[in-house]
Amino acid sequence: MVNITRVYTKTGDDGTTALGDFSRTRKTDVRLAAYADCNEANAALGIVLTTDGLDDQVRATLTRIQNDLFDVGADLCNPLATQYRYEPLRVREEWIAELEEDCDRFNEMTPALRSFILPGGSTASAYLHLACTIVRRAERSTWAAIEVYGTEPATPDSDRPGGINPATATYLNRLSDLLFVLARVANLGVGDDVLWQPGGGRAERPTGPRPS
């Protein structure tokens, strides 16, 4: 049971914060960047869920993903170890499989894509594109943390912090794919995919020398 009795603690006023294993680290730690990006992505999905006309299947999927993103953040903030005081929440392979199944299922609803597309069409679609880019950043941040900390657990006699669960990066990779697909689904019946036009759609390009 989570019991939050006070919003501020003042314990971070020295530029440090607590990780899930109760150790403390600097607020500039790359781990924090990874789960902060997950939090930002979750906030963007919250905006999507406030839009009107969202398909019920999409809404249910995004609601599940919001909970998952919170769990991804919980995983990222808890260094891997061979022993735990409390068993931490970890991203599971079946969550990744669910995203892949969702990608295939929702992609069947959309017409064949023969061009790159730009964010837009409907409001929900535009925000899903935004969420997609944030998730891609979260994946990059996670890989940056893996480069620093690795993926090995710390042992009780180790003097180094534990690594990062690599399944978090895989989950974020598949999630960005799914959000792109859902951005297209969100345009069905209410808008059209905005197709990329090379050169900004200019009919002609100057071929001679530019005037001085």
The pLDDT of residue 11 is 55
CA distance 121 to 184: 9
When pLDDT is averaged across residues 158-182 and rounded to a whole number, the result is: 93
In this prediction, residues 138-155 reach a mean pLDDT of 94
Does residue 2 sit within a domain? Answer: no
Domain assignment of residue 68, yes or no: yes
The domain that contains 127 carries what CATH number?
1.20.1200.10
Q: Cα 105 to the chain's mean position, in Å?
A: 20
Could you tell me the residue range of the domain that residue 114 belongs to?
17-195
Percent of the chain whose predicted confidence (pLDDT) is above 70: 81
Per-residue model confidence as pLDDT tens digits over 9-46: 665 555 666 556 657 666 667 888 998 999 999 999 99
Using the predicted structure, report yes or no on whether residue 5 has a pLDDT greater than 70: no
Q: Does residue 70 lie within any of the structural domains?
A: yes
Q: Chain-wide mean pLDDT for the chain?
A: 86
Q: What is the pLDDT of residues 46-69, one digit of tens each?
A: 999 999 889 999 999 999 999 999
pLDDT in tens, 62-120: 999 999 999 999 999 888 888 877 788 899 999 999 999 999 999 999 988 888 888 98
Paired strand residues for 18: 24
The per-residue pLDDT for 139 is 98
Provide the number of structural domains found in the chain: 1
Distance, C-alpha 106 to centroid of its chain: 18
Amino acid at site 188 = L
Look at residue 1 and tell me if it is in a domain: no
**pLDDT grade, residue 206 (50/70/90)?**
low
Predicted pLDDT of residue 10: 60
181-191: string of b/e by CB count within 10 Å (b at 16+)? bbbbbbbbebe
Give yes or no for a contact between 9 and 17, defined as CB atoms under 8 angstroms apart: no
Residue 164 is classified by DSSP as -
Q: Among candidates 112, 130, 115, 109, which has minimal Cα distance to 58?
A: 109
